[in-house]
Each structure stands twice: as C-alpha cells, then as structure tokens.
C-alpha cells in the first residue's frame, strides 16, 4: 500500500495506528514528494502513548540493515586495532596489552555492544519523533544514496578550499590525513561509527527528551538547536587526535586558525549530516559523511603525498 499522502500510519508490525486529534494540532500529511519526510505540528500516536511523532517504518528490514552496518564497522575497527600504521598515529613503543586476536575480538565486541546498543536506542527514538527510518519506504534511493554522494563530494571540495585558505595562517600548514589505504578504511568506519553516535543516537535522544520535557508540538527549532550542539561536540571530539597528529602537548598550543578550521569543517559536516538524517535517514547521513571523507582524506591526502 502506498503510504504517501495517506491518513493512515503503520508501525513495524504493520498494524494501523490510531489517529488522535489534539487541540490546535494539524494531522501529519506525508508530503507530496516520495523522497522527503514532512514534519508538522500534528502527531500520529500509538494507542495509549502520549508523546512524540511516529512514522511508517519497515522495522525488521531497517533493524537488519542497521545491525549489518554496525557489524561492518566492528570488523573495520578490529582490523584497524591490529594494523599499526594505518591510522597515521605515531607508534607508542609500548608492548601490546594482549595478543592481537584478543585485541581484535575485544574491539569487535566493544563496538557491537556500545555502538550497536546506543544506535539501536537512537533508531527507536528517531521513529518516535518522526525522523526518516533507516530504510524508510517514503525515501527514494536517489535521496538515500545519490544526493548524499554528490553533496558529500561537494562538501569535501569545500573542505579542501577552506584548508588551502587557512593553512598558510599557522605554522602547522595543511591539516594532516591518515596515510592510504588507512584513509579509505577510516573514511568508511568514521561514516558509520560517528554518524551512529552523533546523529542517530545524540540527535534522536536529545530531540526526544526536550520534546518530552517541554511538550512542544513543533520540533524544527529543537532539531536545529540540537544539531548545532551535536556539531560542537563532534568537532571537539576530533581535538585529541589532532593533538597527537601535530605533536602538541595541550589545546593551548594549537594555533587559533587550526582550531577554527577544525570547528568550521566538522561543524559544516555535522549540520549537513543532521539535515539528511532528519529528512532521508541515517544511511543518507553515513553516505554524505563517507563521500566527504573520501574527497577530503583519500583524494586530497594522496594529492599531498599521503
């Protein structure tokens, strides 16, 4: 059944959800476009539930695809953990705390537990607040894969332009990149892992919590406030690795142009990823992030001799 423009909504089990009107509320009408999820001030509600939006989802398929993505990320993380030199970080010279197979297994299990658990919670919450699901029937493959790929490539080009403009302002020069092929592995793993934490979990959780505490019907402003907050946290999370790559002892030793570039680049990626996550689902956000990193870390890194 075509769900576009219908007055009926479904949860993962396929049963219709009861539509309840609230004073001043406008029923959610899922747009005129197949490739965009509309958010309004109306609310579809499960019987007995009083908070948030719900969206038509293909629950089992979305969950399977999400778990497959996390499993891929866990494999990449395990491989990364036992492959010195791929990430470009200087060797510590310290003996390994355990045999390589044990380290790989621990890395795999940790990713599945932490990223899988938080991501699964984020996926459930994203359905409650009306975001596009992992594999949403209202989103076309062009919007799920094609447009994020093009947008990510253009964003990567923008990163290169900004880096070329700002790098002469500090003694560090251009921002460092992992050596190839580690840059390609890092691009794929970061697109899955970082989008799972900073978009799927972080944004879904905070939007859901703020809506629940404030009982606000409209959520566009909330989404963008949380998206900006997510971008700041996301940018700050890159500072420790930047300090290691540049050999600086503390944040005060990083020149202001370098700090500005880190926050501008990662902030721009965060806002773009938040938007496509909201409209087209987490796979679109992962695709945008991946193609941005391919142009920025892989292509530009190779052009710099990485």
**Distance, CA of 306 to CA of 288 (rounded, Å):** 23
% of the chain surpassing 90 pLDDT: 57
State the CB neighbour count (10 A cutoff) for residue 214. 10
Residue 178: pLDDT over 90: no
Q: State mean pLDDT over 217-224.
A: 85
Instruction: Tell me if residue 217 falls in helix, strand or coil.
Output: coil
263-292: pLDDT as tens digits? 999 999 999 999 999 999 999 999 999 999
Query: pLDDT band at residue 57, thresholds of 50, 70 and 90?
Result: low
Please indicate whether residue 251 or residue 25 has the higher confidence score (pLDDT): 251
Of 35-44, 105-114, 206-215, least confident by mean pLDDT is 35-44
- Residue 85: burial class (beta carbons within 10 Å; 0-12, 13-18, 19+): exposed
Of 273, 292, 286, nearest in space to 65 by CA: 286
Find the mean pLDDT for residues 159-167: 93
pTM: 0.80
């Amino acid at each position: 059944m075509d769900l576009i423009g219908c007055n009926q909504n479904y949860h993962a089990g396929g049963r219709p959800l009861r539509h309840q009107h609230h004073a001043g509320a406008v029923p959610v009408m899922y747009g005129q476009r197949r490739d965009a999820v509309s958010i309004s001030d109306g609310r579809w509600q499960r019987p007995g539930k009083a908070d948030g939006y719900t969206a038509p989802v293909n629950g089992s398929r979305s969950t399977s695809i999400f778990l497959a993505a996390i499993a891929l990320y866990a494999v990449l993380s395990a491989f990364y953990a036992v492959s010195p030199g791929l990430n470009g970080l200087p060797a510590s010279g310290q003996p390994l705390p355990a045999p390589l197979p044990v380290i790989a297994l621990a890395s795999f299990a940790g990713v599945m537990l932490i990223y899988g658990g938080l991501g699964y919670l984020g996926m459930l919450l994203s359905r409650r607040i009306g975001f596009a699901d992992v594999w949403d029937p209202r989103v076309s493959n062009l919007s799920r894969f094609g447009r994020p790929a093009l947008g990510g490539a253009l964003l990567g080009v923008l990163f290169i332009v900004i880096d070329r403009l700002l790098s002469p302002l500090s003694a560090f020069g251009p921002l460092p990149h992992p050596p190839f092929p580690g840059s390609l592995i890092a691009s794929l793993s970061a697109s899955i892992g970082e989008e799972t934490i900073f978009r799927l979990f972080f944004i879904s959780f905070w939007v859901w919590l703020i809506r629940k505490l404030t009982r606000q019907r409209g959520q566009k402003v909330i989404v963008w406030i949380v998206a900006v907050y997510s971008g700041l946290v996301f940018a700050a999370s890159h500072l420790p690795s930047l300090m290691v790559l540049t050999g600086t002892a503390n944040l005060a030793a990083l020149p202001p142009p370098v700090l500005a570039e880190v926050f501008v680049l990662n902030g721009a990626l965060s806002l773009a990823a938040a938007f496509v996550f909201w409209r087209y689902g987490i796979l679109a956000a992962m695709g945008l992030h991946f193609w941005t990193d391919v142009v920025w870390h892989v292509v530009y890194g190779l052009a710099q001799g990485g």
